[in-house]
Amino acid sequence: MADVFDVLVQDHQVVKQMLSELEAGAVRPGTSPDQLAQRKKLAEQLIIEESRHEAVEEMYFWPAVRERLRHGGELADTAILQEQQGKEVLAKLDKLDATDPQFEALLAEFISAGREHIEYEEAHVWPELRSVLSRDAAAELGRKITEAKKTAPTRPTRTHHPPRARSKPPVPSPPPPTRLATR
């Protein structure tokens, strides 16, 4: 059965392939309208893949990293910040046609940041998590992620952070009225 790393590596391969295709096909003078439309389509597919992938990581992968690894909180915070920045770039890209002067600049920014993020997860997070997850736990996490991908958002969403600790303690409710003792 596919475990969490099998599921994520497959997603990463799809995204890396798209990044390479987008990098190779950068718009130049003489790029035809058909090529531009094709490029916009590929960028849309990238946005869909990325949005689903990062959403399910946020739902299940990063909570597992926080829970299982001693420095999991730091690893997750760094990665989630990268994901949030990537989503902001993709949200802008999503609104533009491939003819827009900003399109190539945003795409190039995402190609570089996206590769860096993938590298961070694969080199710094996966080996540590792999070393502490049992085979069953890795399979269970893979199952949850596969299931969640079916209904995951296909457009960049705001990152969900765990609820912050309350800054003030709750106000205690007043004691119930007591009946005056009568003699």
Report, in Å, the least distance between residue 47 CB and Fe ion.
14
State the amino acid at position 175 in one-letter form: P
Piece in contact with Fe ion (CB under 5 A), picked from 28-36, 66-74, 114-122, 144-152: 114-122
- Whether the Cβ atoms of residue 81 and residue 113 lie closer than 8 Å to each other: no
Report, in Å, the least distance between residue 173 CB and Fe ion.
43
Residues 64-83 that bind Fe ion (CB under 5 A): 83
Residues 27-66 that bind Fe ion (CB under 5 A): 57
Q: Which is nearer to Fe ion, 98 or 118 (CB)?
A: 118
Q: Say how many residues touch Fe ion, by CB under 5 A.
A: 3
Classify residue 1 by its DSSP letter.
Answer: -
**CB contact burial 74-107 (16+ within 10 A = b; e otherwise):** ebbeebbebbeebbebbbbbbebebeeeebbebb
Q: Which is nearer to Fe ion, 42 or 59 (CB)?
A: 59
- Whether the Cβ atoms of residue 7 and residue 27 lie closer than 8 Å to each other: no
The whole-angstrom separation of Cα 62 and Cα 73 is 9
- What lies within 8 Å, CB to CB, of 123 at 6+ separation is none
Report, in Å, the least distance between residue 138 CB and Fe ion.
15
Residues 123-162 that bind Fe ion (CB under 5 A): none
Report, in Å, the least distance between residue 118 CB and Fe ion.
6
Which residues bind to Fe ion, rule: CB under 5 A? 57, 83, 121
